[in-house]
Amino acid sequence: MMSRQLYQGMQRIKSSEFWRIISSSLSIILSVSLVSSNMFSIAKIIILSILGILNSILGIAILILKISGWGTLCKVKKFYCWTRSALLIFPIISIIIAVIGVSSMFIFNTSYLTKDILWLRKSMSSILLITTILFVIGYIFEAVSLFDISNIYRNVLLKIGSLIYLGSLVISPFFIKVKDYGLIYSVIENVLQIFTSLAIYLGLSHIQKTIIYNQHYASQG
Amino acid sequence: MLVKGEFMNIPYQAKKNDRGLLILVTLAIIAIIVIAFLTFSYPNIFIGFEKINIESIGVIKIQGTLADSQGFTILGSTVGVQQYVNLVEQAIKDRSIKAVLLYVNSPGGTVSASEKLFYEIEKLAHKKTVVAYVEGYGASGAYMIMLPSRKIIASESSLVGSIGVYSVIMNYKGLLDKLGIKVYTFKSGRLKDVGSPYRNMSAEDKRIYSSIIQEFFSVFKNRVLKYRNITDQEVFTGRPYTSKEAKKVGLIDDIGTYDYAINVTKRLAGLPLDAPVRVLTPPKPSLLDLLFRLYFHPSTKVMPSYEILAMWPPPVIQP
């Protein structure tokens, strides 16, 4: 029974990684469209906003797949239950803090009335930083869990993927800051994301094959 | 020793292993907080890896009418001086930038905006070689910001000078009277509404405004005399000069092209002629900035009454 849960859990995590590749590719297109042109028409902003919203919906779908995947794997190991809980709780806390932060920014401070864009930008950056740190904690649990699976199954590809994943999460505040300085950093972040997801996807696929193989082997005994 | 497929045969519940994974998670969280602190406390160390250790000259392009914020004055649309101040600060902090060329094409701007940038460039000039190059207009407030430069170079067909201050106060009294609109002003002192556009200017108002203008002019003049060797007092009448005349009276040091100015900057900074040139540009607006800008409509901000260091009438500046 355990092998079935393992296989199913990994399958959902694999699906989430597949959609993450799509989401990162969409993010690259969005960044390039936003930065490459100096002309911002209302129509362009609306189209880009719609794409942005679609990407956010995709992000939620990815998160649900991850929670579901780790929820299935939870029956196998206690740490994976923590991963599932972290993936569920921290994004919620992060969103609540973002809503409270932005609301209080407008309710308790009237600086926006003076059209101080710099002040708004600074406040938004601080809120973004705090919420990003909280948001990625769940993903840190996931990266460590993937690293654990890679160790158990001695899968090099998954190990590389999980370590790059962990590394990219740790340096995520850096990416928030440097995105201001150019398109290249945003593209690097997303390319890194695609590479990581691909490595995790292939690593998990290989492990799934091992699980099936071992099941056959066990039945022969 | 773990073997393939261990998960399937043995329920994996080793608490020791979980503890190790939790330690790894904790370390990663600590690392992310440290990186966040470093990134936001010392943002300049992350500006660009490619720029580190390559000695270069930075070019800051100052174009358009200078004002404290982006908006609209009687001179037309204005450029928020803060973005230039940020670029100058960036040039000060960036160790790879050995010298700065200020590329100026501006008729000047408000007193406070010009002064703000002047102080920042003065600070920059104390630390690095600064050369100014005028292409088009380098007049009034824009001339003032160039003063701390080691050399001021202008293209052949530029206009430089226009040293002076003026203030334009619009008066709506006549119009309001025609429309039958009465404005009542309650004030704590008789001069609290000096220069009010809703009543006729009194002799006292005129005297006060003249003294303010003279005071600002005296500050401007002293700055010019501190940094330049002026040979003709006509400079202080407020007249603009062509590059050739400006050189004669000591407003500029040389006439040349942009490339010539770049080479002069490199030479003064002791850099080889093949040293790279980096144009410092403000960060492009994010989607958030654009949305906020659209929402708050800052471009509709009109400031009719201002003490101005700029050429009059305002020249047409292409954006």
Model pLDDT for residues B150-160, shown as the tens digit of each residue: 999 999 999 99
Cis peptide before B283 (omega within 30 of 0): no
The arithmetic mean of pLDDT across residues B265-276, rounded, is 88
- pLDDT per residue over B78-108, tens digit each? 567 888 898 999 899 888 889 999 999 988 8
Confidence (pLDDT) at A214: 65
Alpha carbons B111 and A137: distance in angstroms, whole number? 50
In this complex, do A136 and B32 lie within 8 Å of one another by their Cβ atoms?
Answer: yes
- Encoded tokens for A214: 């071992």
| Enzyme catalytic residues of B | 140, 192
Point out the least confidently predicted range of A194-208, B31-45, B99-113: B31-45
- Sorting pLDDT into bands at 50, 70 and 90, what band is B45? low
HEC string of chain B equals CCCCCHHHHCCCCCHHHHHHHHHHHHHHHHHHHHHHHHHHHCHHHHCCHHHCCCCEEEEEEEECEEECCCEEECCEEEEEHHHHHHHHHHHHHCCCEEEEEEEEEECEEEHHHHHHHHHHHHHHHHHCEEEEEEEEEEECHHHHHHCCCCEEEECCCCEEECCCCEEECCCCHHHHHHHCCCCCCCCCCCCCCCCCCCCCCCHHHHHHHHHHHHHHHHHHHHHHHHHCCCCCHHHHHCCEEEHHHHHHHCCCCEECCHHHHHHHHHHHHCCCCCCCEEEECCCCCCHHHHHHHHHHCHHHCEECCEEEEECCCCCCCCC
Among A1-10, A146-155, B242-251, top mean pLDDT goes to: B242-251
Confidence category of residue B284, pLDDT binned at 50, 70, 90: low
pLDDT(B317) > 90: no
Residue in B6, B5, B23, B25 with CA at minimum distance from that of residue A83: B25
Window 12-31 of A: residues touching B by CB (8 A cutoff) are none
Taking 60 as the threshold, does the pLDDT of residue B259 lie above it? yes
**First CA to last CA across chain B, in angstroms?**
71
- CA dist A39 → A26, A44, B62, B131, B200 (Å): 21, 9, 21, 32, 45
pLDDT at A74 over 70: yes
Nearest to B290 among A40, A78, A112 (CB): A40
Q: Is a pLDDT exceeding 90 seen at residue B307? A: no
Whether the Cβ atoms of residue A189 and residue A168 lie closer than 8 Å to each other: yes
> What pLDDT score does B52 carry?
46
Sequence-ordered list of residues with C-beta below 8 angstroms from that of A206, at least 6 positions apart, any chain: A155, A157, A158
Q: Is the pLDDT of residue A190 over 80?
A: yes
A29, A121, A196, A185: which is closest to B49 by C-alpha? A185
Q: How many CB atoms lie under 10 A from the CB of residue B5?
A: 21
Considering only residues A108 and A92, tell me which one the structure prediction assigns the higher pLDDT: A92
Q: Supply the pLDDT for residue A216.
A: 40
More confident position, B261 or A111: B261
- Please check the confidence at residue B224 and state whether its pLDDT lies above 90: yes
pLDDT band at B135 (very low <50, low <70, confident <90, very high): very high
Distance CA A134, CA A123 (A): 17
Chain A contact set for B69 (CB, 8 A): 115
Mean pLDDT to the nearest integer, B125-143: 93
SS3 state of residue A108: coil
Task: Give the least confident one: A125-129, A192-196, B59-63.
Answer: A125-129
| Distances from the Cα of A192 to the Cα of A21, A197, B32, angstroms | 10, 9, 17
Q: How many CA atoms lie within 13 A of B219 on its CB side?
A: 14
Q: Which residues contact B132 (CB under 8 A, 6 or more apart)?
A: B101, B102, B104, B138, B146, B149, B151, B152, B153
Judge whether residue A220 has pLDDT over 60: no
**CA quadruple B228, B232, B237, B242: dihedral positive or negative?**
negative
Overall size of chain B counted in residues: 319
Burial class from Cβ neighbours inside 10 Å (0-12, 13-18, 19+) for residue A25 reads middle
Compare CB distances from B7 to A34, A115, A152 and report the shortest one's residue. Answer: A152
Q: Which residues, numbered 175 to 204 in chain A, qualify as contacts with chain B under a Cβ-Cβ cut-off of 8 Å?
A: 176-178, 180-182
| Residue B211 to residues A10, B167, B204, Cα–Cα distance (Å) | 80, 11, 11
Mean pLDDT value of segment A115-132: 69
B49 falls in which pLDDT band (50, 70, 90)?
very low
pLDDT of residue A129: 80
- Cβ within 8 Å, pair A76-B5: no
Check if B21 contacts A (Cβ < 8 Å): yes
What's the mean pLDDT in A116-130?
A: 69
Query: Does residue B189 have a pLDDT over 90?
Result: no
pLDDT value at residue B51: 45
Q: Are B161 and B251 in contact (CB under 8 A)?
A: yes
Q: How far apart are CA B178 and CA B180, in angstroms?
A: 5
Residue B222 tokens read as: 């002293």
* B126 pLDDT more than 90: yes
Under the banding of pLDDT at 50, 70 and 90, the label for residue B46 is low
What is the chain A residue with the closest CA to B30?
A170
Tell me the average pLDDT across B43-62: 67
Give me the half-sphere count of Cα atoms (radius 13 Å) on the Cβ side of residue B53: 1
Of B8, B21, B43, the CB nearest to A177: B43
Q: Cβ A52–B287 below 8 Å, yes or no?
A: yes
Nearest-by-Cβ selection for A34 from B35, B82, B287: B287
Task: Average the pLDDT over each of A216-220, B114-118, B133-137, B254-258 and give the range with the smallest value.
Answer: A216-220
Q: Quick one: pLDDT band at residue B29, thresholds 50, 70, 90?
A: confident
pLDDT-derived band at B301 (thresholds 50, 70, 90) equals very low
Give A181's DSSP letter.
G
Shortest Cα distance from B280 to chain A (angstroms)? 11
Determine how β-strand B71-73 pairs with β-strand B76-80.
antiparallel
Q: List CB contacts (< 8 A) between A220 and chain B.
A: none
Window from A7-11, A90-94, A207-211 with minimum mean pLDDT: A207-211
pLDDT at A96 over 80: yes
Whether A215 contacts A6, CB under 8 Å: no
Q: Which residue of B has its CA nearest to A212?
A: B5
As given in the structure block, the two tokens for residue A149 are: 């699976």
Sign for the CA dihedral angle at A87, B29, B36, A123 comes to: positive
Asked if the model's pLDDT at residue B11 lies above 60, the reply is no
- For B173, B231, B237, B273, B275, the CA distances from B56, given in Å and listed in that order, are 56, 35, 39, 10, 6
